[in-house]
Amino acid sequence: MTDTLGQPHWMTAPATAAVFDALEAVGGPDCARFVGGCVRNALVGRPIDDIDIATRLTPEQVTAALQAAGIRALPTGIEHGTVTAISSHLPHEITTLRRDVSTDGRRATVAFTDDWHEDAERRDFTLNALYARRDGGIFDPTGHGVADARAGRIVFVGDPEQRLREDHLRNLRFFRFYAWFGKGAPDPAAVAACAALKDSVDNLAAERISKELLKLLAADDPRAAVRLMAETGVLDVVLKLPADLGRFEALCGIEGDQLFENDPVLRLAALLPSDQVAAARLAERLRLSNPDRDRIVAALSPTPVMKSWMSPREIRREVYRGGRGTFRDRAKLAWAAAPRTATTMQWRGLIALADGWSPPSLPLTGEEVMNAGVPKGPLVGRVIREVEDWWVDNDFLEDKLSIIEKLKAVAQGMVY
């Protein structure tokens, strides 16, 4: 019996049907098939994020066919046979069937083919080497992709070491797909190959490593995959720092109760040692974005010490000083690292109080400072900062008269 996806809406939507109609007008029936992630996700009941299409047509034929049908064609990866069709504002990535001519672990030279089996042989995992016709019928060239997808087995197409030597990124992709789709024990041959070739990950561009790592950490429960990365030595190659697996796994457990969203950046911070300098160096080496770098460094700040029994006054002060986002990050990391003596309710209450409080603005202007006798210039800022420190220590006093009296005392002490 032939496996089928049926004909879900994403396959028969007018925008997608228009793309297939355009290709078939040139190449005939079944010259194009859905491929990869959309087929895999539909098979296992996951959302469809992108629509990828494989075709026997050359990139030039694809472009001509789309343009003849009035569909915009973008040469997004023309040297590797990829053209993106924009149909009713929706992108469809169309790639000509390919076979590898040569690879160096980072780049591949390809030749186009019209053989679906050759195209499948160059793909990474059996669950990604799946194709579907317009009628929903699945074509499984390896003979194992459908069964592996349903069973949650991440198995390389062909020889694992050969696949890894062709593209070093596949080492990280194995763990990422295991985090997202894996069930049960990992494939022993794949694990052994990833461990044997772990050092090849160092040959990858930093941006490719960080992108793959953050995708892995965004899975609902990446704990088993990250633990496996540590056991194979791949995690050491990526981080080059001792990993705090205990805090990381505890954080994932906190997020797993649906109180918080899955947060790959904070999960990365949890994996790192509590060393802001080392974390900043890692962020620079992996070329994380500046906001992600700054967030990780702030989350790992050693002071003030976060405690589940912080008073509302202390919470307000820290939210005002560091921002609500940093407070939440630091509280969740402290929660993950804390002995299980503090109750979940305490930590939740602490974060809820921070979320529910809107920091006020200091009710003091530069003009008021100068009216108190402080000359225009840097001294104005110094006075404001000292008054602000007093105001925060007094739990954001709303008494304007008391603030002005404090201003006068500070101004007198600085000016005279």
pLDDT tens across 176-199, in order?
999 999 999 999 999 999 999 999
- Delimit the domains of the chain by residue range: 1-151, 303-356, 366-415
Query: Which residues 6+ apart lie within 8 Å of 20 measured at CB?
Result: 32, 53, 134
What is the dotted CATH code of the domain comprising 1-151?
A: 3.30.460.10
Q: Strand order in 90-96's β-sheet?
A: 72-77, 82-87, 90-96, 52-55, 32-35, 131-132, 138-139
Asked if 5 contacts 11 with a C-beta cutoff of 8 angstroms, the reply is yes
Nearest to 86 by CA among 102, 70, 106, 99: 70
Treating both helix axes as pointing N-terminal to C-terminal, what angle do 276-285 and 290-299 enclose, rounded to 10 degrees?
A: 160
> Do residues 269 and 226 lie in contact, with contact meaning Cβ atoms separated by under 8 Å?
no
Note the pLDDT of residue 343.
77
Q: For residue 80, what pLDDT band results from cuts at 50, 70 and 90?
A: confident
- What average pLDDT is seen over the chain? 93
Q: Please provide the DSSP assignment of 162-175 as one string.
A: HHHHHBTHHHHHHH
pLDDT at residue 131 is higher than 80: yes
Percent above pLDDT 70 for the chain:
96
Alpha-carbon distance of 4 to 24, in angstroms, equals 21
pLDDT at residue 402 is higher than 50: yes
The 10s digit of each residue's pLDDT in 27-64 is 999 999 999 999 999 999 999 989 999 999 999 999 99
Q: Which long-range contacts (CB under 8 A, 24 or more apart) does 344-350 make?
A: 346/308, 346/309, 347/308, 348/259, 350/308, 350/310, 350/315
| Distance in angstroms (rounded) separating the CA atoms of residues 391 and 367 | 18
Query: What CA–CA distance (Å, rounded) separates 369 from 54?
Result: 69
Q: What is the mean pLDDT of residues 149-170?
A: 96
374-400 pLDDT per residue, tens: 999 999 999 999 999 999 999 999 999
What is the pLDDT at residue 1? 46
What would the pLDDT profile of 219-268 be if each residue is shown by its tens digit?
999 999 999 999 999 999 999 999 999 999 999 988 866 567 889 999 99
